[in-house]
Chain A
């Protein structure tokens, strides 16, 4: 039984690790260490819930745990997350990679959002989840989730307006 559980769990983790880490990184505003911690804790929780959720939707379970843990950890003071007036890590003229610069810009802008707005934006635009699933992950009504996403996008638009150019 334990062997069977470990096999399925390992397979799931190995297949979804990269995606989960990416979501966690966006949820934490680019903090890689904190994102790894969040993913690890969420997967530990998944291990104990695996017999119940393995046949259903383990990724949705992990996503929900990630969102809630990210929001909870953002409230802790020792993470040192504090809003700033100016975006850090702005790409300078000597930066080698435009992709790295763009990712840094995005993560820094996400870090300025409140945790629930950030989670709504990430789940909606990165994970491409419908509003109902975003609301389920956030644990709020659909209208509230829609409002979080809308406000988050408006804030990001304001932050990134001077650096993001339209496609084309």
Chain B
């Protein structure tokens, strides 16, 4: 260390001024700490929100999730429909075993329609299984509706009197 360096050292140390750490400095320092802490919290919150948003977008765009997992050509399952009304055996048709209700559009499986009855057109509402109850819109029924009368009808031998078609048709 030469003379100049010694002089430089002396100049640097002698130029030091006493500067006490006053209350103003302390207040300013802690205000800076509060501001920095607030900004750090905001940065973390923003980062977390961005991470959540990125994950959501990533999961939404991933193939094989959500509704895209179903193959398009899979036949629709039979939809459940409200409980069908009690079936009254027709006068001419024999009571058949309980059939599953069909209520989907355009899905008429063989075996669910009775011979002699036409499959109803789909009108947007769930359809019940084709009833053997006589109806005016079903001209192809094999038997005409029995006349409505107050007299107790003569029940056919195979049907019960209280579940006769006349009660259903006459209201």
Interface residues of A (CB under 8 A from B): 10, 13-14, 17-19, 21-22, 26, 40-41, 43-44, 47-48, 99, 102-103, 106-107, 121-122, 125-126, 128, 153, 156-157, 160, 164, 166-167
Chain A, interface SS category: helix
Name the B residues within 8 Å of A10 (CB-CB).
26
A-B CB proximity, top 9 nearest: A17-B21, A103-B15, A126-B12, A22-B16, A18-B19, A14-B21, A44-B32, A125-B9, A166-B3
B29: contacting residue among A43, A107, A160, CB under 8 A:
A43
Inter-subunit contact A164/B14 (CB<8 Å): no
Q: When the two chains form their complex, are residues B18 and A164 in contact, meaning their CB atoms are under 8 A apart?
A: no
The interface on chain B, measured as residues whose beta carbon lies within 8 A of the other chain's beta carbons, has a size of 28
Chain A contacts of B33 at CB under 8 A?
44, 47-48
Q: Per a CB cutoff under 8 Å, which of B10, B12, B25, B28 touches A122?
A: B12
Known: A40-B28, A102-B14, A167-B3. A153 touches B21 (CB 8 A): no
Which of B6, B10, B16 is packed against the most chain A CB atoms within 10 Å? B16
- The residue in chain A whose Cβ has the minimal distance to the Cβ of B37 is A48
